[in-house]
Amino acid sequence: MLRLQRLCKGFFQFLIKKEDMLNFHRINSVNNQFFSNLFNLYTLAFPPLERRTWAGLEYELNYEKRFCSHALIQNGVFVGLFNYWTFDRFIYIEHFAIIPKLRNQGIGSEAMNIFMNQTKLPIVIEVEMPNNITASRRILFYEKLGFSIVSHNYAQPPYEGNGFFMPELIMSNDIHFANSHFEKIKDILYENVYHYQLTKDKNIVVDE
């Protein structure tokens, strides 16, 4: 656990902060000056089934050392959010978004490249099925960064309550690792991120 905490704290420390540089500002609690900005974008960019409530997010910030939340700051201004989990064998990026007016200006790619340069661990993400233009563009965005779609079926558990499982895709910048360890990755995400205990006798209802 100590090594995980050091990983979370160690990211981005070598960067020299300049006004025009994109910086990752760590958020440790809801009292942080940028938390309201982050939560407003969080609720704008992700539908209720794909995110936590205020209380749920506050819980992870307070008690889960593997969870890292950052506000993306440029020129002293909030421009996006970047939330991820640090596990022993991989990094899971849970939520990542840029404010609407600054999208398609390269900020997202810059943030991802900064992050990927900070870790040697494989990175795993979830993306929506390519059923619309926005989802297809999101997949293309990650493919341009070196990510590939894992060749296993996956469904995202509900964040709270007894909601539907949503069919999604897993992508990774280390496709061999992700394909080889898919079941382990899924179990870790289900148990730690979604707090969902998968049992053999549990019926999984997938929202088509």
User: How many domains, the chain?
Assistant: 1
| Confidence class for position 7, pLDDT limits 50, 70, 90 | low
Asked if residue 57 has pLDDT above 50, the reply is yes
DSSP state of 19: T
Q: How far apart are CA 95 and CA 108, in angstroms?
A: 12
pTM: 0.86
Asked, for residue 206, whether it belongs to a domain, the answer is no
Asked, for residue 124, whether it belongs to a domain, the answer is yes
- Tens digits of residue pLDDT in 96-151: 999 999 999 999 999 999 999 999 999 999 999 999 999 999 999 999 999 999 99
- Tens digits of residue pLDDT in 158-199: 998 777 899 999 999 999 999 999 999 999 999 999 998 765
What's the CATH code of the domain at 182? 3.40.630.30
Neighbours of 78 (CB within 10 A): 18
Alpha-helical segments (H) within the chain: 2-10, 35-45, 54-63, 107-116, 133-144, 175-180, 182-188
Please compute Rg for the chain using Cα positions. 17
The 10 Å CB-count burial string (b at 16+, else e) for 117-156 is ebbebbbbbbbbeeeeeeeeebbeebeeeebbbbeeebbb
Asked, for residue 121, whether it belongs to a domain, the answer is yes
Domain that holds residue 132: 2-193
Q: How far apart are CA 124 and CA 136, in angstroms?
A: 18
